[in-house]
């Protein structure tokens, strides 16, 4: 025969279990910060000063292809924000960036519209890049995601544009 104390304890335990099941659990947010050294460079003249990758060419733009953070529990398809820290030191060119994806089982892929610092802008900027199309919506969730960055040619003796790194945030 159960005592009143046992009934009270049983009621208390079942109430606590019911309350914990009804509380909404917050999603685990994640942040990945990636240094520019993770990128490969094409064209231009890469110059690494440990704080970022600069274009030392006075004749050609430099292209950087940087991998998207994409691993179990932190897939690129759950990305909510992508920000690039760039330094634009060109009065005639702009730093340009966009999120892209390469198909996994076929040739091809696509990129989102680009964002840029704007001609005439000088200084450090945080470029916010849209990932909603190629990393999430267009069936490219299983693709290989990357960030495409274009640095303008160096102006004069010491004016170099650079990519310091990028931060990818998700849920």
Distances (CA, A) of 116 to 4, 25, 166: 71, 38, 15
Residue 36 lies in a domain: yes
Residue 6 lies in a domain: no
Q: Give the whole-angstrom CA distance, residue 6 versus residue 104.
A: 60
Q: How confident is the model at residue 118 (pLDDT cuts 50, 70, 90)?
A: confident
pLDDT tens digits for 30-81?
A: 999 999 999 999 999 998 777 899 999 999 999 999 999 988 888 888 899 9
Return the CATH number at 155: 2.60.120.260
Show the tokens assigned to 149: 């960055």
Residue 65 lies in a domain: yes
Q: pTM of this prediction?
A: 0.80
Domain count, the chain: 1
Q: How high does pLDDT run on average in the chain?
A: 83
pLDDT for res 134: 84
Residue 147 lies in a domain: yes
Range of the domain at 136: 27-170
């Amino acid at each position: 025969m159960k005592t009143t104390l046992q009934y009270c304890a049983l009621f208390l335990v079942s109430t606590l279990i019911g309350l914990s099941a009804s509380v909404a659990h917050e999603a685990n947010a994640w942040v990945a910060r990636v240094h520019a050294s993770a990128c490969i460079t094409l064209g231009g003249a890469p110059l690494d000063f440990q704080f970022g990758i600069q274009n030392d060419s006075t004749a050609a733009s430099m292209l950087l292809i940087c991998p998207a953070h994409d691993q179990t529990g932190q897939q690129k398809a759950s990305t909510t924000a992508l920000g690039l820290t760039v330094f634009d030191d060109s009065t005639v060119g702009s730093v340009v960036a966009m999120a892209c994806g390469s198909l996994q089982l076929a040739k091809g892929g696509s990129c989102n519209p680009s964002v840029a610092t704007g001609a005439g802008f000088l200084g450090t900027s945080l470029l916010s890049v849209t990932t909603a199309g190629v990393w999430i919506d267009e069936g490219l969730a299983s693709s290989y995601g990357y960030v495409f960055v274009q640095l303008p040619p160096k102006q004069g003796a010491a004016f170099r544009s650079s990519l310091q790194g990028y931060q990818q945030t998700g849920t």
